[in-house]
Chains A and B, each alone.
Chain A
Amino acid sequence: MKSPILTVCRKEVVENSRDRRTIMSTLLLGPLLVPALWAFMINVMVSQTLSDADEAISIPIVGQTNAPNLVAFLRRQGVEPTAEIENLEDAAAAVSAGRQEIVLVIEPEYALNFRAGGDARITLVFDQSRTRTGASTRRVKALLDAYAGQLRVMRLQARGISPLVLRPFTVDEYDVSTATGRSVLILGVLSYFLLLATLMGGFYLAIDSTAGERERGSLEPLLTVPATRAELLLGKMAATICYMMLSLALTVVGFAVALRFAPLEELGMASNFGLLVALKIIVIVTPIAPLGAALMTLVASFTRTYKEAQTYLSLVLLVPTLPLIMATVLSVRPDLEFMWIPSLSQHLLITELIRAEPLNLVHLVISISCSLSAGVLLAWIAIRLYGRERLLG
C-alpha cells in the first residue's frame, strides 16, 4: 500500500500546478521578476556612476572675458560655458527657480586682483536643497580646486620655492579588496532574494493546503480517511517543500542568467557565478525549505480563512530578513557563533561563496543541521497542533 504522505503530496503538487496564483508566485515572481529587477537596478546604478564622471555639462558663466584662462581650463575638462546670464542677481534667481543647476560668476575685478596677487573672487551659485545637482556642483568645485592647485604650484616655482613645501606628506591609497570582493556589496542582496524566493515558492501552497482546505470544507472529509493527521500534514509539508525547491532552483538559474546582463566589470567587479557556485548555493539554501514549509504550514493551519492566513504569512516572510538586516548593520563576519541561526548562516555562507573564498565545511554542516533541526521542531509542533479538535473550527 502506498503511503498516505506520498498520496497527499502528489495530489497537492498536481492541484496547485493548476492554480494560477501558485504558479505565478513560484515560477514567475521569484525566478524571473526578481533577478530581472536586480539586473536592471545594477544597470541603472552603473550608468549613473559613469555618466556623472564623464558627461559634458554646460554651465552659464558670468564675466567669461574676465578670466579667459580659467574658462579655457574648464572647457578642456568638459564644462561648456554659456553666456545666457548677465549678473549675480539673475544667476541667483535662475538657480532658485530651478532653471539652472549651477552658475559661475566671475567678478569684473578678477583680472585686476589676480595680477596683483590679491584676492580674486569667483562665486558659485547653487541650490544645496536640490540633491540632484549635487554631483555637478561637486564636480565644478573639484575642477576649480584643481585649477587653483595648478596656479599655486606655478606661483611657488616662480618664487623659487619647491611646491612640496605646501605638502608635508602624501597619502597613497592601497585597496586590498579584490574585484570579486567588491562585488559582495551588490551581490549581498542576492542571498536575501534567494531566501525570499524560496519562501514565496511555498507560500500559496502552504495556505491552500491548510486554511484553504478548511475554508472549502474538504478538510473534514479528509480527516475521515484511514490515515493519521501527522501523515496528512507531512504530505502537505512535503508538497510545500517541492514547490519551494523548484522556486529556489529556478531563481538560482534566473540570477545566473541575470548576471550575464549585469555590467559588473564596469564597476571593477567580477562575478564567479558559475554552475558549481549555483549548485553550492542550492545546497546551502535547501535546509531553509523544510524549515520554511513547517513554519508556514504551522501558521496557516491556525488561521480561520485564506485571507487571514495570507496576512499572517506575509509577516512570516519578514522573519528571514531580520537576521540579514542585523548582519548588514553590525557587519557580521562569518564566524562559527552565527552558523546556528537560520537565514543568517545561509546569508553569510552565500556571501563567502560569492567572495570566491573556500567554503568552510564545518560552518556548512552546522548551518544545515541547525536549520533542519529547527524545521523538524516546527513540524513536530505543527503536527501536535494539527491533532487538536479545534482544527475543525
Chain B
Amino acid sequence: MIQVEAITKRFGEIEALKGISFTARDGRITGLLGPNGAGKSTCLRVLYTVLKPDAGRATVDDIDVVTEPIAARRKLGVLPHNAGLYPHLSARENIAYFGELQGLSSSELQPRIEALLERLELTEIADRRAKGFSQGERTKVALARALVHGPSHLLLDEPSNGLDVMATRSLRRWLRELKQDGQCIILSSHIMQEVTALCDDIVIIAHGQVVAHGTAEELQEKFGETSLEEIFVETVART
C-alpha cells in the first residue's frame, strides 16, 4: 500500500505540488489523471525517491520514502517517463544489470529473467542489442527491468506513451495480471480512455492538487455526469 499525505514540492518560483494526498491499495490499479504539467510526474518522482518533498509524508508499506529511500526502492518497480535502455547491451543484459543492482545473485536472477522474457513475449529479441528496438520493445524491456526483483509496488509514468494499439493492449493485459497477483500499481496518464479502461481508483490532479478521488463509479455518482472526460474537464476547469 502506498500512502501520500499532504506532499508539497516547489521548484524555485513554481509550486509543483500543493499538498497532495491519496492512498493506493494493494491489488488495485490507481490512476493519476491530469493535464500536462499538473504534477503527476513530480508526484511519482517523490514516490520513487529521486525527488525529496518540501513537506508532507509518503510511505510504501509503512516505509518512509524520505527517511528510508533505499528500503523503499527495494519494494518499488519503476518505469519512468520515456525510460531508456543501454543501446550496447542486449535485452537480457539490460534486465540483468538492474537485477544485480537490486542485489539478486545470478542463481536467483537467471530463472526470473527467463520467466519475465517469457511473460512479456521478449524471448525472440532477448539476445539482440537494444540499439534497434522499437518503442514497444523498449517499453517491454523497461517494464521487465522494473519487475526483475519482484517488487510489490509498481509505479509507471505514462507507460503507454508512444505505443501502438497492439502494444497498448498487451501492456494493459500485463498490468491486469500483475494486479491479480496482488500488486499495488500506480500509473499516470493524461488520456481518459486509458484510465477508464484500466484503473480501479482514479485520482484527478490539476495545478498540483487532488481535485477528485474515487472509483470511476464514485466519481460519476458524485458529479452526476456520464463520461469521465466531462468530469475531468469540469474539475480541471473549476480549479
Contact = CB atoms under 8 A, between A and B. Distances in A.
A136 B145 CA distance: 74
Q: Size range of the interface on B? A: 35 or more
B80 A220 contact: yes
Contacts of A216: 84-87
Interface string A305-321: 00000000000000000
Contacts of A225: 73, 98, 101-102
B97 A7 contact: yes
B191 interface: no
A224 B50 contact: yes
A15 B89 contact: yes
A222 B78 CA distance: 10
Nearest to A7: B100
A11 interface: yes
B232 interface: no
Given A221-B142, A221-B146, A389-B50, A226 B103 contact: yes
B33 to A, nearest CB: 22
Contact of B49 (A19, A217, A224): A224
A220 B100 contact: no
**Interface hub of A2, A11, A220, A224 (most chain B Cβ within 10 A):** A224
Interface in B66-89: 70-71, 73-74, 76, 78-89
Contacts of A97: none
B226 to A, nearest CB: 38
A220 B102 CA distance: 15
B97 A221 contact: no
Contacts of B92: none
Nearest to B104: A1
A15 B86 contact: yes
Interface string B45-57: 1001111100000
Nearest to A231: B101
23 contacts: A15-B86, A15-B88, A16-B88, A18-B129, A216-B84, A217-B82, A217-B84, A218-B85, A220-B83, A221-B78, A221-B79, A221-B83, A222-B101, A224-B49, A224-B73, A225-B98, A225-B101, A225-B102, A226-B73, A226-B101, A227-B70, A228-B70, A392-B50
4 tightest A-B CB contacts, nearest first: A217-B84, A216-B84, A225-B101, A18-B88
